[in-house]
Amino acid sequence: MNRGWTWTVVGCAAMFVTACGLMGGPHTPSHTSTHAQVVVSSDSSSARTTSDTWDGLSLAPASLVQTLETAQVDTASGEAVKLPLDRPVIVFAPWCEYCHRLEQMLSREGLLDQATWVAAGFEIYEYPITQNATTTRSLLTLAEAEQKVKASYAALHLPMPTHVLYAMPGTPLAEAVRGYPDVFVLHDGRWYLQPGYVDAPGFWKTILA
């Protein structure tokens, strides 16, 4: 799936929803495409009620919700754990420009630790190796994945969030999410999906706070 530009309407203002993605299989970086989503508020100000927000956000597809609710992820220490769902879940890639923008905004707004962060998209770092006419792929280790994430936060001069987990290549969650960031929020027993980055602090305060 390839992710790109989307118009989001909030009150009287229109904003771009932007994201990074993987297309043509799990090993090819993408550019942009269209993903339809409209968030509409009857209030002309940037402040929106909770009901308006959830009425506007799309429900996450059932297949993606099933993957989310059964996902096994890795901790930095190498322990395989069930993905905790006690807070919003942000699936991001360390190489994703729009993930970086989201991280910077949430850090400024004091919201960085309001979500569980799941690092994914590591397929982009793997590459084919041919030896004796046999082609295999270099496999990224968990330690290498952690270093990629740490390096991305260091480059942004940001502290890493408290809750960072890893969806390594080939795992169901890594295979299901092909665009970044993907933000999952549980509201009234249903999972909603915000695909991509929105340049509006009030929007994130509403869905994460």
Q: What is the pLDDT of residue 56?
A: 62
Q: Over 80: is that where the pLDDT of 133 sits?
A: no
One-letter identity of residue 164: V
Q: Which of 37, 38, 34, 30 is nearest to 5 (CA)?
A: 34
Query: pTM for the whole thing?
Result: 0.76
Which residues does 91 contact at the CB level (< 8 Å), separation at least 6? 118, 120, 167, 173, 177, 180, 181, 182, 183, 184
Say what the pLDDT of residue 157 is: 96
Domain residue spans of the chain: 59-208
Q: What is the pLDDT of residues 134-176, one digit of tens each?
A: 666 678 899 999 999 999 999 999 999 988 999 999 999 999 9
Two structure tokens written together for 139: 């496999």
Give, in words, the CATH class of 59-208. Answer: alpha beta
Mean pLDDT taken over the chain: 79
